[in-house]
Amino acid sequence: MPALEADPALLAKLDLSFGADRAALDQGLHEAEVMLVGNFESENLRERAPKLRWVQSIFAGVEKLAPSIPSDVVLTNGSGVHAPKAAEYGICALLMLNSNVPRFMASQRRRRWEPHFTPVIAGKTVVIVGTGKLGVALAAQARHFGMRAIGVSRRGLPVEGFDQVLPIGGLESVLPQADFLVSTMPNTPEARRRIGAPQFALLPKGAGFLSIGRGQAIDEPALIKALRSGHLGGAVLDVFEVEPLPEASPLWEMENVVISAHCAIDDLDAYLARAIDIFIANLRRLLAGEPLENVVDTSLGY
């Protein structure tokens, strides 16, 4: 890890091991107090790692890993690793929806000259469900373009960068104000299909929708119906309930939809470096006796 090599004092405090296969992993786990992990076989973790205190995942989504973490072990995730790219792609998506780009693309494929006139995005309102680091990064970009950003989170605590934040129970109250609705929600039982027919119906006719969290948070049949009816003006979708998106899905053929393959907010050139930076910052906190960041509530999955 170049970041560790650049800090000899920190490196001197560590006894590092690396496991590329199950046998090598278990050999290191026997004495490990801290783990930095991606995908790995996590069953029976307490028995395999009796001294383990903390697991840092390089991924933001840890719903598959969380159930395997012993109750006395702290789990932290890579929240924030996607934020710079999510901000860029998110505002790109909102601008595409605002300027009717999906329909221009459809007209181009049909070789049809079909003008569509749209206003500027400044002054419009975006409702972002999820005020974690993805939501914060996108809200900053939206406000830079003169938009109003309303956040919705589980508890509704104020978050810098949003004009307003409401608890999830207040989502329906702000949907009639939303020119755009964005989901950054995780894949948890609480979030499953939280956005569906009742929520889409409350949006103004012609509103745009962006999904960059987890596809399980969206009622896909309800989304398809709202897009087909024209009540939703368009959607940019990076995540889906079933991935890869089945070939039979009507979403593939919709002229008001842009699809990406769960890759739009991943910056592979910088992903691992950012993930390791998050780990090293937390490692310094651990050694200094300070609280860790990105701590996951394993009962909630995020």
**Is 293 annotated in the active site?**
no
Cβ–Cβ under 8 Å, residues 58 and 275: yes
What is the bridge-based pairing of β-strands 180-183 and 164-167?
unpaired
Q: Identify the active-site residue in 41, 243, 290, 293.
A: 243
Encoded tokens for 59: 């991924």
Q: Which residue has the tokens 């939303």?
A: 178
Cis amide bond preceding 119, omega within 30: no
**Is 148 annotated in the active site?**
no
List all residues 6 or more positions away from 245 whose beta carbon is below 8 Å from its beta carbon.
251, 252, 259, 261
Q: Identify the active-site residue in 82, 148, 214, 274.
A: 214
209: helix, strand or coil: strand
Encoded tokens for 266: 């991943």
**Is 116 annotated in the active site?**
no
As a whole number of angstroms, the distance between CA 221 and CA 195 comes to 11
Task: Compute, in degrees rounded to 10, the torsion defined by CA atoms 204, 208, 212, 214.
Answer: 50
As a whole number of angstroms, the distance between CA 82 and CA 218 comes to 20
Rounded to a whole number, what is the largest CA-CA distance in the chain?
68
Task: Give the number of C-alpha atoms closer than 13 A to the C-alpha of residue 29, restricted to the C-beta side.
Answer: 22
Question: Residues, the chain, total?
Answer: 302
Give the helix/strand (H/E) hosting 171.
helix 171-174
As a whole number of angstroms, the distance between CA 296 and CA 130 comes to 15
Catalytic residues: 214, 243, 262
